[in-house]
Amino acid sequence: MSTILTVSGSGFLPYEVEVGRGLLAELGAQVASLTRGRVVVISDETVAALHGPTVLASLDVAGLRTRILTIPPGEASKSFAELERVIDRLLAYELDRKDLVVALGGGVVGDLAGLAAALYMRGIDFIQVPTTLLAQVDSSVGGKTAIDTPRGKNLVGAFHQPRRVTADIDVLATLPARQLRSGWAEVLKHGLVCDAPFFSWLAGEGASGATGDPAALERAVIRSVEIKSTIVGEDEREAGRRALLNLGHTFGHALEAELGFDETVLTHGEAVALGCAMAFRYSAELNQCAAAEVDLAVAGLAAAGLPVRLSEIAGGEKVAAEALVRRMAGDKKAEGGRLTLILARGIGQAFVERDVDAGRLTEYLRTEGAR
């Protein structure tokens, strides 16, 4: 039994997000309903070894002509060099506009494969088959595709909506515990943004999802997709409400960049969790959020084993406050060099704060432990 949700908006074709168990074995029939052309599965080497045989067998049974293209695992693959290599292989395969790309993997694969699909022949169809919790609840839905540059994360990309998203809960059983917790950070973020009862469930009865309980994970993924799809449908290009989904990300992206995108030090989900904690504390600093709400938010993040202080990550105390602020000023939400943050008036009450005072933010970051 699976749950099917529809993502729709005025600027793109509606598509389905299916959440359930055992879905990889059924993927061929779903892809065949979208194309009878050729299919290229893009995956990283680790995921291809784990789940590639099931996917390829399903596509083969459906009578689809299929190739698999692998990339090295890790954030470093979200680069111009790897994007060029992937597009070159698609050209070598002589794909045309009726063919289709399958992004099988986590957020790195989804971002890179989605951007390659957006650029190839000015855009061909692709579907997302996210294999990490973080990708299932966040990056696979909404059409954001991008690569990183030395100047920051996700600064080069395109909006390119998938034709379908298939989120198989069973694949999450293969995730290392740290990666599962990282995905849980994005789930908690959704509650912090706009659904206080959901956050309360996640921090209470649903907390077992952070350690792999399939029933809790399925409920968490479904609700997260509901939240994100509703917001994306209202604001595909992040001109308004969609920006709220970046709670914790401006702080987090700046930290990731300063630490060299080293996932052994700080994963993306950990950066988001730490960023959410910092955003709540800064909201209290501005007298926008009650201390009790900050305590509840931070406690929920910490209980899931996620970092909530700079001192909890290696090298965190060596990060310069001024450097973080420079990174934040170059964030995609900044306008005319003016700092913009997503802050909160309480759990479930995120808001956009424009024209943030750089000096005050720098001093706050020093109180957080930055040098």
Report whether 256 contacts 319 (CB < 8 A).
no
217-253 pLDDT, tens digit per residue, is 999 999 999 999 999 999 888 888 899 999 999 999 9
Which pLDDT score, from 0 to 100, does residue 330 have? 80
Report CA-CA distances (Å) from 223 to 194, 234, 365: 12, 17, 33
Helix (H, G, I), strand (E, B) or coil at 38: strand
Let me know: does 107 contact 117? Beta carbons within 8 Å.
no
**Which residue of the set 18, 51, 78, 144 is catalytic?**
144
Distance CA 67, CA 203 (A): 42
Do 120 and 85 meet the contact criterion of CB atoms below 8 Å apart? no
Q: Look up 318 and say whether it is catalytic.
A: no
Catalytic choice (18, 238, 263, 368):
238
What's the confidence (pLDDT) of residue 347?
Answer: 98
Active site residue 242: yes
253 is catalytic: yes
The rounded distance, in Å, linking the Cα atoms of 268 and 246 is: 13
246 tagged catalytic: yes
Q: How much is the pLDDT for 333?
A: 64
The question of whether 67 is a catalytic residue gets the answer: no
**Residue 332 appears among annotated catalytic residues:** no
Q: Of residues 164, 253, 281, 327, which has the active-site annotation? A: 253
Annotation marks residue 122 as catalytic: yes
First-to-last C-alpha distance (Å) of the chain: 52
- Residue-by-residue DSSP string for 181-240: HHHHHHHHHHHHHH-HHHHHHHHTGGGGGGGT-HHHHHHHHHHHHHHHHHHHHH-TTSSS
Nearest to 160 by CA among 129, 135, 186, 124: 124
39, 65 Cβ separation under 8 angstroms: yes
| 78 catalytically annotated | no
pLDDT in tens, 350-370: 999 998 999 999 999 999 999
Q: What is the pLDDT of residue 335?
A: 66
- Rounded CA-CA distance 5/326 in Å is 39
> Which positions of the chain have pLDDT values less than 50?
none
Known active-site residue 160: no
**287 has catalytic annotation:** no
Domains of the chain with bracketed CATH: 3-174 (3.40.50.1970), 199-367 (1.20.1090.10)
How many C-beta atoms lie closer than 10 Å to residue 356's C-beta?
20
Q: 153, 164, 219, 242: which is the annotated catalytic residue? A: 242
Q: Given 51, 181, 246, 270, which residue is catalytic? A: 246
